[in-house]
Structure 1
């Protein structure tokens, strides 16, 4: 199960379709607050986080990833951004991947597969 945080509805559809076609189940949310509530609830076993950097609401993608890593230090993180790529070195969590928008759907699948295959967890 992949947790996706994206507040642009057209992109939500593209990401969901790409991940579903790649064999991943997804939960797509439009705010960081919603994503953290769901992740902290522990009802689903999320294997990865895919988040837009610039989100509506109080939390941006950088902060969502940091808080999720506090709960699950091994959780793979993929950031999507059109404008904030330069901030990745300072803001991004370790062992994350940044995809510059617009990106090809195959790039997203490759990024998730690479992070899941190189992760240290066996679950």
Structure 2
């Protein structure tokens, strides 16, 4: 069992999801990937995965959005690190994003992901 910090990854497109998993792994993190906001909430509530940050796409198909997911997680764990990924919703971040979150616009370089997660975890430590 690695002692890499686990990141809850929420991305509904499988190809992008595997790209993110590789990027996080290269950055020293372990991805715990789910494909919907609802699955992310149950994984988070369950707690067994011990995730330390949330990396979520904003548009997650039919279910709750990444914006809503982050708000729900913050109600349970205030200050939980959140990084949003989006191609079209960046202008909404100021009004929709939770305090202290980061936003990465797609397409992004793999190193940007790990850097964003590291930055948030460093500011909490």
TM-score, reference length from structure 1: 0.94
Runs of 4+ in 1 over 4 A off after TM superposition: none
Match of 1:23 among 25, 28, 31: 28
The answer (yes or no) to whether the contact 1:6–1:55 under 8 Å persists in 2 is yes
Q: Secondary structure at the match of 1:28?
A: strand
Aligned residues between the structures: 120
The answer (yes or no) to whether the contact 1:32–1:57 under 8 Å persists in 2 is no
Taking the aligned partners of 2:26 and 2:110, their CA distance within structure 1 comes to: 10
Matched, 1:64 2:69: yes
Aligned-residue CA RMSD in angstroms? Answer: 0.9
Alignment match, 1:44:
49
Ranges in structure 2 where 5+ consecutive residues have no aligned partner:
1-5
Q: Secondary structure at the match of 2:85?
A: strand
Matched, 1:103 2:112: no
Taking the aligned partners of 1:45 and 1:30, their CA distance within structure 2 comes to: 18
Ranges in structure 1 where 5+ consecutive residues have no aligned partner:
none
Matched, 1:13 2:18: yes
1:6-54: CA deviation from partner (whole Å, max 9, x where unpaired): 0011100110001111111111111000000110112121110000000
The answer (yes or no) to whether the contact 1:82–1:100 under 8 Å persists in 2 is yes
- Cα offset, 1:73, TM superposition: 0.8
Alignment match, 1:91:
96
Match of 1:33 among 24, 31, 38: 38
The answer (yes or no) to whether the contact 2:7–2:55 under 8 Å persists in 1 is yes
Alignment match, 1:76:
81
